[in-house]
Amino acid sequence: MNRIVLSRRVLAGVAVAALALAGCSSKDDPATDPSASANAGGVAALTGELKGSGASFPNTYYQEVITQLKDEAKGLTVTYNSIGSGAGKKEFGQGLTDFAGTDSSVKDTDGVAAGSFLYVPTVAAPITVSYNVKGLDKLQLSADTLAKIFQREIKVWNAPEIATDNPGVTLPATAITVAHRGDASGTTSNFTKYLAAAAPTTWKLGSGDTVAWAADTQAGQKNTGVAQLIKAADGGIGYVDLADATDSGLKFASIKNKDGQFVAPTLEGATAALAGAEIKDDLSYNPLNAAGAAAYPITAPTYILVKPKYDDPKKAALVKAFVKYVLTDGKALAAELHYAVLPAELQAKALAQLDKIS
């Protein structure tokens, strides 16, 4: 796949695509179920429109899944606007969208009423600690060192704590420039949740879609904005999803995990972290700071929020069919786009979650 073309699609923020869907049982009624209609009359029979918005973390994946299908079912239009988890949850709660993307759980302050949503996990991926330091091609960081860097207790690259994590490496005296998300972000939520869990006595800023960053840090919009800030500053460091960090040509640090191993942000490391994650009844789960020698410790989940009940039966059926496609046929794209697929048990539960939509 041409990664340059993909990046241009992603930076556009909104993809409009036609969708090919299949896999419904013969008992489904084509009059009310568009996916059944696709079985009966081919994908061209699918008609309607779906709107979604939210997290930029899975944006590369969602946009490519949608774009890949644009010529197969011209009667169905799907849009996903990458505006950040916080804004996506608010739009969903206001009834402006049919589904939302989020990397963080729904809070009372998000504007989404209790009982009005279901979590459907889709993929997972590493949050990289990306950096731009001239002459520094390999970097290891422990959780405590990382916490001190991001709350501005460590301000130069040759600080003793960084040197301890990187024995034998010549570190420059370059000033550190910290970049973070300026919008309400599930990536921020997962990154700060990791620091709170892995460096509990060091990290002081708490966790959430937003936190009170120091005044001398830089804020970017979406993962792509943080990536650009890192690239622009010799000495820059920030947290960016693997897909956007790769597209931006950034270097990544290996992070010390719970078992004391420095692990690079790879899909293998993310898959190892997923293996030990506890799945809650609502299908939210937490792979952060997971045990296991091979686990990458800043592995983040992402979800699509759907309604348990839609006023329009056709809309409900379209949402179910779309999310089912993301979970099944679409997952063949995941690894190529730097996302880890769900373990079989969680995949089955996610598909079963769709049966609750009416």
Q: What does the pLDDT look like over 337-356, one tens digit per residue?
A: 999 999 999 999 999 999 99
Read off the pLDDT band of 36 (50, 70, 90): very low
Read off the pLDDT band of 15 (50, 70, 90): very low
Percentage of the chain lying above the pLDDT 90 cut? 79
Q: Which residues of 248-271 are buried (b: 16+ CB within 10 A; e: fewer)?
A: bebbbbbbbbbeebebebbbebbb
Least confident among 83-87, 144-148, 208-212, 312-316? 312-316
Q: How many residues does the chain have?
A: 358
The pLDDT, as a whole number, for residue 1 is: 42
Residues pairing with 341 in the sheet: 123
Domain boundaries, the chain: 3-125+299-356, 126-275
The pLDDT, as a whole number, for residue 16 is: 40
Give the integer Cα–Cα distance in Å for 322 and 75: 13
CA distances 185 to 55, 252, 357, Å, are 7, 20, 27
Q: Which of 62, 64, 107, 103 is nearest to 84 (CA)?
A: 103
Read off the pLDDT band of 43 (50, 70, 90): very low
The pLDDT, as a whole number, for residue 117 is: 97
Q: Which amino acid, residue 274?
A: L
If you average pLDDT over residues 304-315, what whole number do you get? 96
Q: pTM, whole model, 2 decimals? A: 0.88
Residues pairing with 48 in the sheet: 76
Read off the pLDDT band of 3 (50, 70, 90): very low
The pLDDT, as a whole number, for residue 76 is: 78
Contacts of residue 357, defined as CB under 8 A and 6 or more positions apart, other chains included, come to 118, 306, 307, 308, 309, 310, 316, 319, 320
Give the integer Cα–Cα distance in Å for 340 and 346: 13
**CATH assignment, 126-275:** 3.40.190.10
Structure tokens, 83: 């505006």
First to last CA, the chain: 37
Is the model's pLDDT at 33 over the cut of 60?
no
| Domains 3-125+299-356 and 126-275 belong to one CATH topology | yes
Read off the pLDDT band of 271 (50, 70, 90): very high
Is the model's pLDDT at 303 over the cut of 70?
yes
CATH entry 3.40.190.10 includes domain 3-125+299-356:
yes
CB atoms within 10 A of CB 314: 15
Give the integer Cα–Cα distance in Å for 17 and 68: 8
The pLDDT, as a whole number, for residue 317 is: 84
Give the integer Cα–Cα distance in Å for 290 and 1: 32
